[in-house]
Structure 1
Amino acid sequence: MKKIFLILLTAFISVQGMAQQQADLRRKISVSGSSELELTPNIIYVNISLREYFKDNNNKKKVEITELETQLYNAILKAGIPKENLTISNLSSWNYFNNNKTKNPDFLASKQYRLKLNDLYKYNEILDGIDAKGIQNTYIESYDHSNIQEIKKDLQIKALKDAQAKAKALLEAIGSKLGDPLDIQEQVNYYGNDFKTMAVASTARASEAVTLEAPEIEVKKITLKFTMNVIFEIK
């Protein structure tokens, strides 16, 4: 039984090897196709950092982080943004208690939040609803698009068709015909002005009496580019 199996396996490998040799002898043409699209993001992720501060020079009257957080939460609801769009990304409260397990009155707690926006103009409206001296910093963290997967798929197809059109035109110029694709490979995608491009929007330190002005920010367009390397058979 083992001998029969070995004979069949050897025969199979031989057939596979002959088929591979025949494939290698086929006339082929290798081309690259590309597609490109400039896209305006419709999802913006913003980082907002809040920090407690003292109202007086004697460090007696403190604006608590809970008060600042409530201001942020109410400003988001007033702007018509779902509360689910706001999440905590980081916090600093490790020394809020001293060795005696009592609150340290001199410690200024801070929290960082991640806010998902579809309209950047809402950003100014939200910041206006927060005590400016409680805003430590804020910046655009990243960009995205709600239909990014569909857009990528469409660009991939267009790049593939571009490769096919190139190969067909080249072969027709020498009197040959285009056959079926033998191999398709996608190059690393290119994203101009990457979704994770970071830009500082504004900063307000708790120790300074700063009036936070509306930041003038334009959402950068993103350039998506796809390249497909295709090998076609020549008939």
Structure 2
Amino acid sequence: MKKSSFVVAALFANLISILPALAQTSTVVNKETRRIEVTGFSEMEVMPDELYFTVSLREYYKDEKNQKDKVQINVLEKQLVQAVTEAGLPKEALSVSGVGGYQRYWEKDKKPSTFLESKQYQLKVERADKLDGILSKVDSRGIQSAHMSRADHSRKEEFKNQVKVEALKNAKEKAAFLLNAIGEKAGPVLEIRELEEGASYPQPMYRSSLHVASVEADGVPDSDLDYQKIKLSYRMQAVFEIK
């Protein structure tokens, strides 16, 4: 009786030891999905319609030799604000970007003080010739400098999305073309990834120097500026099933 019990226990122990192996051999192996991975590319060039200029105004003396009759910064600022309004631009097109001033060290002991205040403004226009017309109405001796700081487009985000869509379409066309060469067809998309985004913004190229001090108040000269286009480019990676 004891012998029989020992045999049954041994058989039960062996059965437990082989159960994991039986479970492994019964696993169903799925067939791997055939796929193709491609990269699509697209780009777009648009002419900027938002030009941002930095305009710097500075106080000066009408009688520079004797340091008399100072034209204050608030007078120059009023001229600039009035010119912007007359150009048909909204109030938001002009904003203060910096305030400063200078005093030459060898004149510190002179009375009255020769400290001259300066002020920088950001001016947003849609065309460069707007700047010429605006600065022509500001006292030229009070204009220290004017240069373009950046260019942009009001519909940039919309254009970005268009380029992304075109890049993805390009990836699909590329997958179909390659598979057709070997008698296969592309199935549903399995994965989409944005690889990179690229945007190059133009800088002004001068055909001739822009001398704001020489602009006459009663005349608006032609713009001396040319601009490159904004270039938007995107790459989209897509994985498609092979039917």
TM-score by length of 2: 0.75
Output the CA distance in 1 between the equivalents of 2:226 and 2:170.
33
CA distance in 2, matches of 1:221, 1:45: 15
Do the aligned partners of 1:137 and 1:203 also contact (CA within 8 Å) in 2?
no
Which among 189, 214, 218 is matched to residue 211 of structure 1? 214
Unpaired stretches in structure 1, ≥5 consecutive residues: 1-17, 96-102, 205-209
Q: CA RMSD in A?
A: 2.5
Kept after mapping to 2: 8 A contact 1:91/1:110? yes
CA distance in 1, matches of 2:239, 2:181: 18
Distance 1:76 1:171 in 2: 60
2:11 equivalent in structure 1: none
Distance 1:175-1:136 versus aligned 2 partners, 3 A rule: same
The one-letter code matched in structure 2 to 1:172 is N
Who is 1:99 aligned against? none
Aligned match of 1:122: 130
Q: Between Structure 1 and Structure 2, how many residues are aligned?
A: 201
Mapping of residues 134-213 of structure 1, within 5 Å: 134-192=142-200, 194=201, 197=203, 202=210, 210-212=213-215
Say if 2:232 is the partner of 1:232.
no
Structure 1 residues 104 and 145 mapped into 2: Cα distance closer, same or farther (>3 Å)? farther
Which residue number in structure 2 is paired with residue 6 of structure 1? none
Of 41, 45, 58, 2:52 maps to: 45
Q: Any idea what the Cα deviations from partners look like across 1:60-83, whole Å, max 9, x if unmatched? A: 221100111011011111111111
Relative distance call for 1:22 and 1:120 in structure 2 (3 A) is: farther
Alpha-carbon distance between aligned partners in 2 of 1:203 and 1:136, rounded to the nearest angstrom: 11
Residue from 32, 36, 55 that aligns with 2:43? 36
Displacement after TM superposition at 1:190 (Å): 1.8
Give runs of aligned pairs for residues 58-77 of structure 1, distance below 5 A: 58-77=66-85
* Identical aligned residues as a percent: 39
Counterpart code for 2:70: K
The aligned residue for residue 61 of structure 2 is 54
Give the C-alpha shift of residue 125 in structure 1: 0.3
**What's the CA shift for 1:203?**
6.1
Q: Are the counterparts in 1 of residues 205 and 225 from structure 2 also a CA contact under 8 Å?
A: no
Distance 2:210 2:120 in 1: 14
Question: Do the aligned residues in 2 keep the contact of 1:140 with 1:199 (CA within 8 Å)?
Answer: no
CA distance in 2, matches of 1:92, 1:176: 69
SS of the counterpart of 1:124?
Answer: helix
**2:225 alignment partner, SS class:** coil
Partner letter of residue 214 of structure 2?
A: T
Counterparts in 2 of 1:168 and 1:60: CA distance versus 1, 3 Å: same
Instruction: Decide whether the 8 Å contact of 2:204 with 2:228 is kept in 1.
Output: no
Measure the CA separation in 2 of the matches of 1:179 and 1:132. Answer: 67
> What is the distance in 2 between the residues matched to 1:219 and 1:134?
27
Q: What SS does the corresponding residue of 1:122 show, helix, strand or coil?
A: helix
Structure 2: gaps spanning 5 or more residues: 1-26, 104-110
